[in-house]
Amino acid sequence: MAEPTKRKGARCINEIPPDILAQLNAGTLETANLVEWLAVDRHELLQQVLPKLGLRALVKPALGRLANPGELKQTQIAPAIAAALLPALKDHADRTEIVEKLAAHPSDLVRSWAAYLIGLDNELKLTQKLSAIRRFAADHHFGVREEAWFAVRTSIDAELGAAIKLLAKWAKDKNDNVRRFASESTRPRGVWCKHIEALKLHPELGLPILEPLHSDPSKYVRDSVANWINDASKTRPDWAKDVCARWREMSSTKETDYIVSKALRTVQKGLTK
């Protein structure tokens, strides 16, 4: 696995040094921030990375998926690439080795392709997908962690009861990133993704995940939990207020107070519906 980048990154795309951009496009360096993530030329990245993995024949079909980049949102690029790679890799003699190289690649964007190879694989059961996606949920890079929950969000929604039961264990994990994944991947509304209607109407289903996190020491996790409840408050304000009141009564920590204050921001503004 690549070491975490210690660079701060440029404030805008035009400020990215040419040598840094060249390394990003070659897949030899991971992005330092969202600006760099947006700046990477995915076409060039594909042409640089795939031949080195013995997958030169897949460059053309993968590029074909990106033929009209204006029609794809940024969050749709990685799954589009993975969708082009998945059929060919299923019958590839070195499939396991190649997928592992993708999963451990220096480029965060390439690691994201590997995450979607898991999420898009309809032959994998939910338990297998979550087991395989955990390494990406725990990745040191912010972008890979976001792509990880995007990759399995549809599968989580399709088998919500089973997913919550499995992810409730993740909510007690020692790794902050894994705990955050349990919350973020099940947010009723989420960010740039399809809503989970069952949790908008019945947010109480998510309590096995949320309860262990009500006073989490990590701000990264607390923000996700607060956003989860805020999502639910837009359709179930009374539930959100009841949960927050109970948490405040059972826990007087500053961590719980932080979650509750942020979780009720929509309710306090009177914007529920």
pLDDT confidence of residue 61? 86
Confidence of residue 269 (pLDDT cuts 50, 70, 90): confident
Domain boundary among the residues 158, 173, 195 is at 158
For residue 1, being part of any structural domain is answered with no
Residues 173, 92 share a domain? no
Average of per-residue pLDDT across 156-174? 98
- What confidence tens digit (pLDDT) does each residue in 241-255 have? 999 999 999 999 999
Classify residue 266: in a domain, yes or no: yes
Report the pLDDT value the prediction gives residue 239, as an integer from 0 to 100.
97
Torsion angle, CA of 183/189/193/198, rounded to 10 degrees? 90
**Closest Cα partner for 202 from 170, 161, 165, 250?**
161
For residues 78 and 113, the answer to whether their CB atoms sit within 8 Å is yes
Segment 187-209, tens digit of pLDDT: 999 888 899 999 999 999 999 99
29 and 131, same domain (yes or no): yes
More confident residue, 3 or 217: 217
Asked if residue 5 is part of any domain, the answer here is no
Query: From CA 31, how far away is CA 54, in angstroms rounded?
Result: 24
Contact 1, 104 (CB under 8 A): yes
**End position of a domain, from candidates 158, 183, 205:** 158
Contact 188, 232 (CB under 8 A): yes
Per-residue pLDDT for 23 more than 60? Answer: yes
Residues 129 and 186 occupy one common structural domain = no
Q: Are residues 147 and 211 in the same domain?
A: no
High-pLDDT (> 90) share of the chain, %:
81
Domain match, 141 and 171 both? no
Residues 140 and 194 placed together within one structural domain of the fold: no
Domains in the chain: how many in total? 2
- Give the pLDDT score at 2: 54
> Is residue 146 domain-shared with residue 172, that is, in the same domain?
no
Q: Residue 171: give the domain boundaries.
A: 161-273
Say yes or no: 224 and 235 in one domain: yes
pLDDT, tens digit (0-9, with 9 covering 90-100), for 42-93:
999 999 999 999 999 899 988 988 876 567 788 889 999 999 999 989 888 8
In angstroms, the CA 216 to CA 179 distance is 9
Cβ-Cβ contacts under 8 Å for 155 (sequence gap 6 or more): 119, 126, 129, 163
**Confidence class for position 272, pLDDT limits 50, 70, 90:** low
Average pLDDT of the residues of the chain: 93
pLDDT band with cut points at 50, 70 and 90 for residue 100: very high
Query: What is the pLDDT, as a whole number, of residue 73?
Result: 82
